[in-house]
Amino acid sequence: MRATTTATTTTTTRDAARSSARRTATRRRVDVGATRRATVTVRASSTARGFECAIDARGVDAAATTTATATMRRRRVIARSTTVDGETGKLNALGAAIWKFVRPHTIRGTLLGTTAIVSKILMGNPEMISMHLVPRALLGLLALLMGNGYIVGINQIYDVDIDKVNKPFLPVASGELSVFAAWAFCAITALGGAAIVATNFGALITKLYCFGLFLGTIYSVPPLRLKQYALPAFLIIACVRGFLLNFGVYHATRAAIGLPFVWSPAITFITIFVTTFATVIAITKDLPDIEGDLKYKIETFSTRLGVKKVSYIGSGLLLANYIFAIALSVKNPTWFIQPLMIGGHALFASFLIVKTKALENAKFSRDAILQYYRDIWALFYSEYFLFPWI
């Protein structure tokens, strides 16, 4: 009995021990599995964080690279823009300097004179108007402007020291335009203008054009430099701006439209009138320059006679010119449209008297002299505005 009980107890104890061992092993397996899963989880989490960090790092690097690239592009754009702006600024400055170099008031005179004479001829011969003449007319105008540019340009090259006193705003005197650039411009305009005339307007007009360039040269260039002598100086200006321009344009225009050359009363009048007017311009142009002319011993009517006397002489000659125009119309009523011829010149004469009186009241100050000279040019332009209609 006791042996049986003991055996049973022993068996039960063994079963309990085995069961306990199984539970322990199971717990260990669970713990190992959990540990492994936890390790995997940790590793996965660490890997994910590594990926995230790597992604973040790559994102930061990409953003930095993009920003740097954009900055470099902006810098390149700014650099290009600055270069373009700089080049544009230089071109604009060069254009402004050349515009001052060609003396705009003389350009306007040439444009108005040419346009007025051509208009007068075409208004008298409307049946001859043809569009195929326009290119040739524009070439002729270009040649005249180039000749004008050469004459006023060569004068500035040789007058640079005087202009530093009298006209420091001129581009060669102020340094805006180099002497080399001025010479290049003069060479191009002289040769280009002569080539245009020679290939389009025949031998006579070419000779007259080259003669005008020659007169402009000896006016300014040593050893002759005739501008330093009062009488030859104003004769050259009167010839070039008075006779050569008006006669040359009239002759060339009639030849271009197939009409023979015939002196008309209107062209005879304007040639005489403008030649006299150009003489007045030649006399009075030195009024504002008397300081520099005295310093460099340039002989002009202003340095010899004084500002006051020369102003009165200029106004007197112009007044006589207007009286001549009115008298010519009265004596030859069929040559002109009298109301415009008489009324227009009477108005211009009145304007001249008023402006001369204003100069006198201002005690012939430099500013008043400059204004007086501008007023003379305004009257010169006005004559050409009136001419086609008389």
What pLDDT score does 367 carry? 92
Whether 42 shows a pLDDT value over 50: the answer reads no
Q: What rounded mean pLDDT belongs to the chain?
A: 83
What pLDDT score does 154 carry? 97
Tell me the whole-structure pTM to 2 decimals: 0.74
Whether 30 shows a pLDDT value over 70: the answer reads no
Tell me which amino acid residue 144 is.
L
Q: Which long-range contacts (CB under 8 A, 24 or more apart) does 253-258 make?
A: 253/117, 253/118, 253/121, 253/122, 253/137, 254/121, 255/201, 255/202, 255/205, 256/133, 256/136, 256/137, 256/140, 256/201, 257/121, 257/122, 257/125, 257/128, 257/130, 257/133, 258/128
Whether 2 shows a pLDDT value over 60: the answer reads no
In this structure, what DSSP letter does residue 277 have? H
pLDDT one-digit tens code per residue, 132-174: 889 999 999 999 999 999 999 999 999 999 999 889 999 999 9
What pLDDT score does 294 carry? 85
Residue of 142, 151, 157 lying closest to 197 (CA atoms)? 142
- The CA R_g of the chain, rounded to the nearest whole Å, is 47
Q: How many CB atoms lie within 10 A of CB 41?
A: 11
The token pair that represents 88 in the structure block: 């544009």
